[in-house]
Structure 1
Amino acid sequence: MHAPQLLEREEDLAELERALARARAGTGQAIAVEGPGGIGKTSLLAAARAHGRDADMLVLHARGSELERAFPFGVVRQLFEPTLARTGELPFAGAAHLAKPIFDVAEGSEESSYARLHGLYWLCANLAAEQPLVVCVDDAQWADEPSLSFLGFLLRRLEDLPVALLVGTRPRAEQESDVLRALVTDPVTRVLRPTALSGDAVREWVRGAVDGQAADGFCRACHETTGGNPFLVRELLHEVVHKRLKATDAEAATVRALGPEAISTVVLQRLKRLPSSAPAMAQAIAILGEGARPTTAAQLAELDPITAEQALDALCRADVLTRDEDDRLGFVHPIVLSAIYHDLPVHVRAQGHHRAARLLADRGAAPEEVASHLALTPPREDAWAAEALRAAAARALVLGDPATAVASLQRALEEPPPPEARAAVLTELARAEAQSGRPAAVEHFRAAMELASDAQQRGQIALGLARALKFRGDSPDAIEVLRHALAEVEPGPLAEELELELVASAYISLAARPLLAEEIARIEAPDAPHTVLDRLHLMASAFETVIAAGPYERSAELARLALGPEQPTDVSAGGHVFITATTALMFSERYDEAERAYDRAVSDARRRGSSVGFANASSLRSLLHYRRGNLSEAEADATAALDLRNDVQGSQGYLACALNALVFARLERGEADQELLALAEDFFANQPTEDLPYSQAIHARGWLKARLGDAEGGLEELLACGEREQRWGVGTPQIIAWRSSAAEVCLTLGRLEEGRALAAEELRLARQIGAPRAIGVGLRVAALAEAGERRVELLAEAVEALERSEAALELARAQIDLGRALVRAGRREPARERLRAGQEGAFRCGASLLVERAHRELLATGARPRRNAAASRDELTPSERRVTQMAAEGLTNREIAQSLFVTEKTVETHLGRAFVKLGVRSRKQLADALADVA
């Protein structure tokens, strides 16, 4: 029975047409249709197809179901599976492979939810590269949370894809999901609120379905009775046809007696008029849910194949069921499903779901599909059910959905599992809770430890408990847990893992460090690494040498030994030793070696789709780039890391390094302003102060305040940064040169003696370390506190030290300061030489303010300096430069986008601007253009 389109108003239809036209043109658009129950299963899909013209757009369709909300990525699977069944592996190219475990039970390992969403985005992008897409989701108010998270992730990147996102949902008051509400209220989403069908539309429908001469009074009664709700109109007209009512004014009263409250009864009565096998088949499909397969439904209904097929045919002809081209079954509307499902007695429904779970498990269904049925059954002390729920939880973690894992394990505990398995289930629950940031994790870890049967099991649980405690900022308790476990377990791999966790706490937690003084003091660096524990001890020895301002060559040697080719590089996947040892290399001024190691970590993170790994490694690499004087690279890495700050909750400590590099790089480029200060302030509002790298953020904000005119406020923060560093035992200026920064601010405030004392102490420590960059920085600031020939001597010594380092920016700064000092001493010729060298060095670094300062000083000597050309590589923004370099190395736009966790259109925009600035027309010319201006 044909129904009018849901989107009846011309303005709504025009909005839909514009969205589809934009998608065809390559720019995505999202439309949310908020309507009352009764929209109908295919109405939004039909509208998309009618206006999207199937011939030129690929339509992906799914529908949320109230009974399947516990099925993670259930709606996503509905969207993609029919197309993937036809296309095979091709759409999983590149970063899309991260989404493959969602569709293949045998695939994948535990990854972050970001990795799965990143993979799904690129799956969409790969499909859209072949044909513009319509992603259509009906009844989104019942969609599972992971699928809604994907829709939100896609929405934020939609503008760069030829994709139209259409979401049908109940009104906002009926939307329980915060993710769905955010999607509907997002500024880029166009919200359509179609009114009920008009009286004219209902009259046209009645005359088309019942009687071409239907009386106005009869049609009016149909409209008033249903309120214009499309589904109710259709059901009403079904009943009118069945009862053979005359469409006259006299029968209007009969129509009003068939009001909305009678629709469920109408549906059930229609079932009774069908063959005797039809109700059983409909009930089986109601239990199995949307997308059920005919063979599974027949088995659950206990019907032979021929009888089942006859029942399905009758149900489809009676407009109870739909059957799509992929042989998936569903109901014409949720109201029909609800009427049939709720007509079953509660105990029959529960029994049906338990049988469905068993049946699906036997047929090799995904564990999460099995668990979605067990969630609708009461506990029955069924060991099989408990194990099935545990399997579903493990699968949810593979999919990056710890919240669903928590729900499955809570239900498994209610079953309950056998007594001997309870400790294991509690541990699994606690780990899932820890991953989703729930405080109950600690309670459940402790409960599991009490039930653990031996020291080995308690030790394994202790690892999870300690990490959960540290996550909530309770490192002292974590240390006690680890110490107790170490005292119990026998020497071996577990003991090594416990010790690694214990010692590593000293390098990530401010509160933990003093509590671990004894353990750290006992560490002896082995001559060569043979075990994981050996590498931990080498890493710790390297960092302790750095912290104590020991010889930089010794700390570099120890850090180099700690690194190994097979070590994990991601701090979220056991890579703490690798990252910390690499950072010790950076602080030991072994920049080339550290950069290669960070490059490896960034590459690994890109391959795994790890936002945490990418953000952390990029943050630290940005700090390294700044110290080398590569300002554009420093800003590009820092920006890429900070752009992910909302996706790395719980692991954002390293982002303080990115903020530090960003602030200092922009200051050197003359781009610091109140907006940058606001970014720093916002960072402080969300940063866990327990993390040791937090000092980098304090240093950056203090220096930024001072440079923006608040010298007193800036000095206060710089001194607070120093106090914090000393509190955890850091003597070296190699981690943060807060003394030299504070000394410069003191000098601007006229506090000469205080500034001189700070500079002298930094220089003393730098000479103790022996690292040329540290010595050069210390000498330069000490010189600023002197005058006359003494200043010239110290600056000349600073230049000499920095010429032995890889610190191009600091060398340029010292050369310019030396040139200025020589000018004031009346020695113009050597001054010009130093100023020119400093200006060239600053130009290569991209330090605009230093270039300008050198230019002014050269003018003061009577020279006629040539201002550096503006049209060069250094006119590129950091992001443009990063993308251009990758393109010159042969990467495609898609490969660049996947590597940098951005969209393809963002890459296209950066490249287009870079082409204009560099004066090139093709990618083949990029390498030469970049080399010409190097």
Structure 2
Amino acid sequence: MPTVTLRGRRQELAELDRLLADLRAGRSRVLVLRGEAGAGKTALLDHLCGAAPGPVVRSAGVESETEIAYAALQQLCAPLMHHLDQLPEPQRSALSVGFGLAAGDPPDALLVGLAVLSLFAEAAADGPLVCVVDDAQWLDRMSEVILTFVARRLDAESVALVFAARSPSDEQLLAGLPEMPVTGLSDADARALLDTVLPGPIDERVRDRIVAETQGNPLALLELPRGLGPAELAFGFGGPGPVPMAGRLDQGFQRRIAELPPETRTLLVAAALEPVGDVPLLWRALERLGIAPEAAGPAQVAGLVEIGARVRFRHPLVRSASWQSAEPATLRAVHRALADVIDPHQEPDRRAWHRAHAAAGPDEAVAAELERSAGRALSRGGRSAAAAFLERAAELSSDPKPRATRALAAARAHFLAGVPARVPDLLAAAEIGPLDPLAQAGVERLRAQAAFWLNHGRDAARALVTAARRLEELDLAAARETYLSALGAALHTGRLGDGDARLVAEAARAVAPGDDPAGLLLTGLTSWVLDDFRASLGPLTRALAALDARENLNLVWIGVPVAHELFDDEAWDRLTAQAAGFARETGVLSVLPSMLTFRAGALVHAGRLAEAAELVGEADTLGRATGLVGQPSAPFNLLAYRGAERPALDLMEPAEHDARTRAEGRLLALVGHNKSVLYNGLGRYPEALAAARPTTAYADLGFWHWGLGELIEAAARSGAATEAAEGAERLRERTSAAGTPWAAGVQALADALAGPGAQTEKKFREAIELLPAERLSLMVARARLLFGEWLRRDNRRAEARTELRSAYDAFSAMGAAGFAERAGRELTATGETVRKRGPEARDELTPQESQIARLAAAGRTNPEIGAVLFLSPRTVEWHLRKVFGKLGVTSRRELAGAL
């Protein structure tokens, strides 16, 4: 495609030239062109494609196709599928199943995303690849998720992924990607462009008004004057009140379309509803409608559409104006014609979608076909598409029973797709029809689950109890799981729950206990709420021993706080490692952000803050790409230990406000605990004590003893000796019953801070010895810091230096800057000069490089490392070359020693 000169786009073209230069140099680039309709985004994409140094693939979102899974992605990848055999088998299978090329288990979005990333990398092996996605605001959900994921993972593949999206937009998935705004032309350029389409000279003031009203929008300048008479031009556009530019352009295109012959207008509708641009298919549909190919002539002469090897509209607004301005009867007729000519074996889902829109009323045959399409969508991992198919199938069902069943299935699909807001209306529709008792219980359970998703703190626990009671006589295992969800919701509400936890626990106690992990957790937590900590230990200990995250990924959310509650660092480490690894391997997108942040929390306390930060960043990326968010505990913890006061408060204070608004008491405890960590690290003990007091006023599962530890330290350092001693005794109630090394070490540290002076040194040494150094090295370092501070105050400076130096080095290596600075101040007070670490050394590995290096040292191949970290093998190789240079090694065999 030859490049053309674009008026007034010097800066934008320079940015695209830089992008192409990076591409030629072997670097990947991602860019979002964002601007209003008609701003010239598509023209800039055309320029980019014409100047590309290698192959180009293009796709576009289509408004009428937003519910068909992978519609845009498949169009983008189709020219590259000859590279499919070069992908690892799991990725090859995921992409084949996702695109409907093979049968298999439903692939999760992350595995498909990794496959697309690898496909792009393989396609770029012989030369730079340019991937262009126009009208991203109309991408189907699965294409959005995959392409955004890929965009955040491109690095060294020589791939450019460039989106064009409207602005303003509520588009979330592209948020955070590099953007280039595409705004209106300057007045001079706008006038010059306008002159090219005006029928003759006009008053200068009118020209200025037109330029001002269009705000330099190129398409508006070219299109709006067309068809306007001299009188209309004499008064500019003369309509009172502001009209959005997209609306004006739509009106202009609709006016031009209305002037075309009826058969030409119908042809444009058919072309608009057939988004692939398949010309033979279009001709076959028109033949069904009794329209000859010659009908295209007037539209082509008017410059609205080009029909060559493919159908191409003058602008996406022409497409939308074509079908939006059509009469309902015309739309149904065109949908019916398209459905008739689409091959039911090649594209059954698109055919079903057209048939659904062709139906004027209930049609059981079409509803059944849509239901089958939903099954195929689910088998490809397209939950959003399945939900849309099922919802339309319910609307077309004439029989109340299948209508109710389909509405319930649609609600469940929307929930699993992460769109709980659609659930209540569909459940209400399902309840109109006859439902058996099990289905009715399922309705109540799903309604409560959606309510909890939408608002963690209000009403969900009681609603889940109602559903669980219905399930008791129908499905006992499901009833236990629902009671466990209800108890989890009540514990999340915590202090703001008005007795919800006791209400749920009393109801759950009446259910026959189970010996599976869910049953044991329910029994133990019911006892924890109604009896006491000691009574809950037996079933909860057995539950943790039986819980394998690879088999019960859905129980990790409650298993991790139970491990905290029982001071079981081994279970905490095991469960989070299993969960993150399994969710990654299987690509379970719906839970991966939470699993990564759970694992990050364990790594923080193991002193591996850099790795934890990498996981938090990965979870944040996935959260923005899917709308699903991970647990906030690890991000809060990271900022608190780094001593980053302003960033930490900027994150925590809005969360605290939201927690009160939504009645999420557990989140309040989380914020209070991390504030106390932050201020203890900064040596501002009164503020730490003020934050810890409300945290420890209520026994939140898994948080209470953490908060109590911070309170004891802050109270001891603030001179509140009585409060510290009382805190140590409150803690003993739990630690003595738990009996683990972690519990014993925590209690020894509390006694050292708050107990009799004669026992202080002994207790400090016990704490340092008892705390598990591998999994709780951050806590060990804090114990050494506290011991060193005590030794200094006891005038034992030489011994103090040993402990403080150990603590300072550990905190510095971990990246716990707040506590490192505190240890440094104490060292200085002993008379030792502390050499502060400067900025990162040039040869220091980044967190991602560290992960890659460790995996390579363990014998993993580049494709295996890429699969674990969701990177292409070429990016892994690029990072390894940098690692070799930084560490001064030349082979993988030398990595282990260098690390």
* TM-score > 0.5 by shorter chain: yes
- CA offsets 1:48-80 (integer angstroms, 9 cap, x no match): 34322xxx4121123454554554543333222
1:254 aligned residue:
none
**Matched residue, 1:30:** 31
Displacement of 1:497 after TM fit? 5.1
Pairing of 1:223-372 with structure 2 (within 5 A) = 264=257, 268=261, 285=271, 287-292=273-278, 294=280, 297-298=283-284, 301-302=287-288, 328-330=310-312, 346-360=328-342, 362-367=344-349, 369-370=350-351, 372=353
Task: Assess, with a 3 A threshold, how the Cα gap between structure 1 residues 501 and 151 changes in structure 2: closer, same or farther.
Answer: closer
TM alignment of 1:439-588, pairs within 5 A:
439=421, 441-449=423-431, 451-471=433-453, 472-473=455-456, 474-487=459-472, 489-490=473-474, 494-495=478-479, 498=482, 501-502=485-486, 505=489, 510=494, 511=497, 512-521=500-509, 529=515, 534-541=516-523, 548-550=532-534, 554=538, 557-564=541-548, 567-569=551-553, 575-576=554-555, 578=556, 580-581=558-559, 584-585=562-563, 587-588=565-566
Q: Evaluate the alpha carbon distance shift between residue 10 and residue 660 of structure 1 in structure 2; reply closer, same or farther with a 3 A threshold.
A: closer
2:574 to 592, 596, 599: 596
Q: Which digits, 9 at most, give the CA deviation of each residue in 1:450-474, with x for residues without a partner?
A: 5333212223333322312322332
| Residue identity in the other structure for 1:178 | D
Q: Is the 8 A contact 1:500 1:536 kept in 2?
A: yes
| Alpha-carbon spacing, 1:873–1:922, altered in 2? closer, same or farther (3 Å) | farther
CA shift for structure 1 position 802: 3.9
Q: Does 1:18 align with 2:18?
A: yes
Distance in 1, Cα, partners of 2:684 & 2:361: 68
In our comparison, the structure showing a higher alpha carbon Rg is 1
Q: How does 1:855-874 map to 2 (within 5 A)?
A: none
Picking from 672, 678, 698, the partner of 1:698 is 672
Q: How many Å separate the matches in 1 of 2:772 and 2:306?
A: 77
Cα distance between partner residues in 2 of 1:806 and 1:70: 46
Q: In 1, are the aligned partners of 2:677 and 2:688 still within 8 Å (CA)?
A: yes
Change (3 A) 1:189 1:448: same
Kindly provide the CA deviation profile for residues 183-227 of structure 1, in whole angstroms up to 9, marking residues without a partner as x: 699763252656999999999999xxxxxxxx999xxxxx99999
**Match of residue 591 from structure 2:** 613
Deviation at 1:662, TM superposition (A): 1.8
Deviation, 1:427, is: 1.0
- AA paired with 1:415? L
Q: Which residue is 2:635 aligned to?
A: 659
Query: Which one of the candidate residues 713, 718, 729 is aligned to 2:692?
Result: 718
**Structure 1 position 155, deviation (Å):** 5.5
1:703 and 1:714 in contact (8 A); partners too: yes
Task: State which of 760, 763, 772 in structure 1 corresponds to 2:729.
Answer: 760
| SS of corresponding position for 1:30 | strand
Cα distance in structure 2, aligned partners of 1:817 and 1:11 = 58
Report how far residue 536 of structure 1 moved: 1.6
Q: What is the TM-score with the length of structure 2 in the denominator? A: 0.76
Residue 76 (structure 1) aligns with:
73
Aligned AA (1:385) = V
> Which residue among 716, 722, 726 is the counterpart of 1:747?
716
Spell out, residue by residue over 1:232-255, the C-alpha distance to the aligned partner (whole angstroms, 9 max, x if none). Answer: 999x99xxxxxxxxxxxxxxxxxx
CA gap 1:317/1:152 in 2 versus in 1, 3 angstroms: same
Aligned counterparts of 2:582 and 2:37: Cα–Cα separation in 1: 48
Distance 2:815 2:74 in 1: 49
Q: Report what 2:179 is aligned to.
A: 188
Structure 2 CA distance for partners of 1:13 and 1:584, relative to 1, 3 Å: closer
- The equivalent position to 1:379 in structure 2, one of 352, 360, 365, is 360
Report the CA distance between 1:344 and its aligned residue.
7.5
AA aligned to 2:59 is A
Q: 1:628 to 1:450 in 2, by over 3 A?
A: same
Higher RCO, Cα 8 Å, sep 6+: 2
Q: Is the 8 Å Cα contact of residues 445 and 467 (structure 2) preserved in structure 1? A: yes
Once residues 874 and 546 of structure 1 are traced to their aligned partners in structure 2, the CA distance between those partners, rounded to angstroms, is: 51
- CA 1:112–1:310: 2 relative to 1, 3 Å: same
Call closer, same or farther: CA 1:812–1:432 in 2, change over 3 Å. closer
Kindly state the Cα deviation for residue 857 of structure 1 after the two structures are TM-superposed: 7.8
- Helix, strand or coil: the match of 1:452? coil
The change in CA–CA distance for 1:791 and 1:567 in structure 2 (over 3 A counts) is same
Task: Tell me how far apart the structure 1 counterparts of residues 640 and 195 of structure 2 sit (CA, whole Å).
Answer: 70
- Which residue of the partner structure matches residue 623 of structure 1? 601
The residue matched to 2:551 in structure 1 has which SS? Answer: coil
Deviations 1:830-862 (A, max 9, x none): 878877887887788776787888889899999
Residues 349 and 884 of structure 1, relative CA distance in 2, 3 Å threshold: same
Q: Give the distance between the partners of 2:46 and 2:895, measured in 1 at CA.
A: 47
SS of the residue 1:381 aligns to: coil
**Secondary structure, aligned partner of 2:59:** strand
**Deviation of residue 477 (structure 1)?**
3.2
User: Match of 1:425?
Assistant: 406
Deviation at 1:684, TM superposition (A): 3.9
CA offsets, 1:593-614, max 9 Å, x none? 5433322211221123334533
Give the one of 732, 736, 739 matched to 1:770.
Answer: 739
- SS of 1:603's equivalent? helix
**How far apart are the structure 1 equivalents of 2:145 and 2:385?**
13
How far apart, in 2, do the equivalents of 1:889 and 1:192 lie? Answer: 51
CA RMSD, Structure 1 to Structure 2 (Å): 5.6
Q: For 2:372 and 2:359, locate their aligned partners in 1 and report how far apart those are by CA, in whole Å.
A: 18
Could you tell me whether the CA contact under 8 Å between 1:6 and 1:194 is conserved in 2? no
CA pair 265-596 structure 1, distance change in 2 beyond 3 A: closer
Whether contact under 8 Å (1:8, 1:194) holds in the other structure is yes
**Alignment partner of 1:362: what SS?**
coil
8 Å Cα contact 2:109-2:588 kept in structure 1: no
Cα deviation, residue 751, structure 1: 1.8
Does the 8 Å contact 2:716/2:724 carry over to 1?
yes
CA distance in 2, matches of 1:394, 1:509: 37
Q: In the alignment, is the contact (CA less than 8 A) between 2:190 and 2:218 conserved in 1?
A: no
Matching residue of 2:171: 179
- What is the percent sequence identity of the aligned residues? 26
Whole-angstrom distance in 1 between the partners of 2:137 and 2:794: 77
Deviation at 1:124, TM superposition (A): 3.8
- Where in structure 2 are the equivalents of 1:54-69 lying within 5 Å? 56-65=53-62, 67-69=64-66
Give, in angstroms, the shift of residue 266 of structure 1: 8.2
SS at match of 2:506: helix
Distance 2:865 2:566 in 1: 32
Query: C-alpha displacement at 1:928, in angstroms?
Result: 0.9
Aligned to 1:47: 47
| Contact 1:739–1:758, Cα closer than 8 Å, also in 2 | yes
Q: What is the one-letter code of the residue matched to 1:606?
A: R
SS in 1 for 2:171: helix
Q: CA deviation at 1:711?
A: 3.9
Structure 1 unaligned spans of 5+? 207-214, 218-222, 238-258, 273-278, 570-574
- Stretches of structure 2 that go unaligned for 5 or more consecutive residues are 202-206, 227-251
Shift of 1:929: 0.9
Q: TM-score, normalised by structure 1?
A: 0.74
Contact 1:894 1:904 in 2 (8 A): yes
How far apart are 1:129 and its partner, in Å?
4.5
Deviations 1:475-504 (A, max 9, x none): 2332342244135x3356655655554565
2: CA distance between counterparts of 1:403 and 1:692?
31
What CA deviation, in whole Å up to 9, does each residue of 1:712-764 have, x standing for no partner? 44323312111232xx6x5x88x633222112212232222112211232134
- Of 374-383 and 192-201, more deviation after overlay is shown by 192-201
